[in-house]
Amino acid sequence: MVIVGGTAGIGLSAALALKEIGVSLAVFGRDDDFFTKATALLGPETLLIKGDASAQNEIESFFNHVINRFGKINALYHVAGGSGRRFGDGPLHELSLEGWNKTFEMNLTSLMLSNQMAVKHFLKQQSGGQILNLASVLAYSPSPHFFSTHAYAAAKSAVIGFSKSLAAYYAKDNITINVLAPGLVETPMAQRAAQDPTIIRFIQSKQPLDGGRIAYSEDLSQAAIYFLTSASSFVTGQVLAVDGGWSVTEGQL
């Protein structure tokens, strides 16, 4: 099983949960510090490769390493992405072209490349396969006061449309493609929000489950296991919100 963006946060939590149930893993990640930690946690039996998920040659090389090591691929979880805020993402009237392009590169181009490689191998293997892509509740449930990054919302909306289109096309090949859409999760990307007391108070009403809190990466892991194993073999083209109630509550400023 392949996890692209699996060396930190949501991806690493999923990798650890999958390792616990005996799944053979290949993990792709970028950040040096997180890569070192993931290597220690996942152990030598896990194939870990460092690189840029939005670079076609690096993704292709990673998948070749996976095939050489394990012989085949049966599932892909694409987690890699990130905020383009530091590049100029924000409200439309402030959005820079660099912010737009970089946000789409991180969140959509990388996903297209990994999905493409997985599908090519599934078709070659004639084995079917499973893909799980990570979107966000911001794709369809905006929160304009605190989370006004319009390129990010657009990119995550595109993840859903892209995944559904793939699911429809490749269902005949027994390839399933589904999406997880989390609310605010305690990850390296979310530190701006997680360290802001005003946003934390907002989240207490916006994500009211379990007392009102930011999600833990582990909150998504069991859902990921469902979509990446035979438990979901008759499910495709679906979006599951793991959001603590975000998408069904107003939230109080």
Element (H, E) at 131: strand 129-134
Contacts of 167 (CB under 8 A, 6+ apart): 176, 177, 178, 236, 237
Element (H, E) at 122: helix 110-125
- Count of other CB atoms within 10 angstroms of residue 182: 25
CA distance 58 to 43: 22
CA distance 208 to 66: 41
Residues in a beta bridge with 29: 50
Residue written as token pair 């590169």: 105
- Residue 52 burial by Cβ neighbours in a 10 Å radius (0-12, 13-18, 19+): middle
- Count of other CB atoms within 10 angstroms of residue 145: 11
Tokens of 131: 């893909």
CA distance 46 to 250: 42
Q: Kindly list the catalytic residues.
A: 152
Tokens of 3: 């996890």
Q: 247, 253, 246: which is closest to 145 by C-alpha? A: 253
